[in-house]
Amino acid sequence: MAFKLMRAAIAVAALTVATGASAQECIAPANPGGGWDFTCRQVGKSLQDLGLIDKTMQVVNLAGGGGGVAFAEVVNKRNDDNELIVAASSATATRLAQGAYPGNTMDQVRWIASIGADYGVIAVAANSEIKTLPELLDKIKTDPTSVSVAGGSAVGGWDHLKVLIAANAYGIDDVRSVKYIAFDGGGEAVTQLLAGSVQAFTGDLSEAKGFVDSGDIRVIAVLAPERLPGEFSEFPTAKEQGIDAIGANWRGFYGPGGMSDEAYNEWADKIGKLYASDEWKQVMAANGLAPLDLQGAEFQQFVANSVQQIQDISRQIGIIK
């Protein structure tokens, strides 16, 4: 209850202060505590610290529909707002690829820039009897109803796809048997894991890190080609456990489709300068972000390719026809 009240207070506070017409605003399309929220708040703070914006970036949490509520808000009500950016990721591309934002497509907005990539993780509560990814997948294979996996994206979304890719690589023929429960953001999904409502969590390293540091959860697999450097090197990859599953969640921003070319180029330039800074390199290292440095037209093309790739994966595992 205290967590819910705190979350509500943060959301109300963000909405309250974001009323200035000229305020630069970042919409996080999920509740506080997840990857989109991290993207808005960390980038906003760093842009201000570096003097790239001259006032505090207002963050508004607008959860619902795996990002669909925020996408529709931008397309339908704020299409020409030059001061607005929206946190996006592979989860956004996934929903667009699967036609899950009714009536909306990726070309209705302008894709501004990336700020890095966030490798997927599969985690359990610190006191769980499950110690490895094969143990978890064995339980699912033997009795699919005995394991619920929570994630911060909608059913068929990127968090869901990551655990399906791992299950598929392990030889679970009907990946639709994997019991996935969707929450509005990774923070909420981890809360349910700690409450014992679910047995595992699928998300990204930046979402999981705080809960790992506090000793609440244990990462049983990182979906990276090899172990990550530094403090993340203790986490085993799926690959080293014999499961060839890789999932990198890019993080970045889109703006309204009617944003002016001048504003679009300014935002791309600011985020490009942020990415190149020593401060952002430290943020990336501290949060397990892998390199992905794309702005403007390059990022627009990257997202288009990402949407196409996810459509192909989704067809292979039966999410779409």
9-23: per-residue pLDDT in tens? 344 344 433 333 468
**How sure is the predictor about 314, in pLDDT bands with cuts at 50, 70 and 90?**
confident
Residues 137 and 236 reside in one and the same domain: yes
The letter for the amino acid at 217 is: I
Q: Domain boundary at 241, 261, 282, which? A: 241
280-301: per-residue pLDDT in tens? 999 998 888 888 999 999 999 9
- % helix / strand / coil in the chain, to the nearest 5? 50, 20, 30
Question: What's the rounded Cα separation, in Å, for the pair 246 and 233?
Answer: 16
pLDDT (average), residues 144-155:
94
- Residue 15 forms part of a structural domain: yes
Question: What's the rounded Cα separation, in Å, for the pair 176 and 14?
Answer: 38
Q: DSSP letter for 228, please.
A: P
250-288: per-residue pLDDT in tens? 999 999 999 999 999 999 999 999 999 999 999 998 888
44: CATH: 3.40.190.150
Residues 6 and 106 reside in one and the same domain: yes
- Residue 321 forms part of a structural domain: no
pLDDT (average), residues 98-107:
92
The letter for the amino acid at 10 is: I
Residues 185 and 85 reside in one and the same domain: no
Residues 231 and 253 reside in one and the same domain: no
The letter for the amino acid at 42 is: Q
Residues 295 and 221 reside in one and the same domain: no
Q: Domain boundary at 214, 241, 268, which? A: 241
Burial 87-119 (b: 16+ CB within 10 A, else e): bbbbbbbbbbbbebbeebebebbbbbbbbbbbb
Spatial contact of 122 and 200, defined as CB atoms under 8 Å apart = yes
Please report where in the chains the tokens 């963050």 appear, as a residue. 59
Question: What's the rounded Cα separation, in Å, for the pair 101 and 99?
Answer: 6
pLDDT at 22: 60
Domain of 262, in residue numbers: 2-117+249-316
Q: Domain boundary at 207, 241, 275, which? A: 241
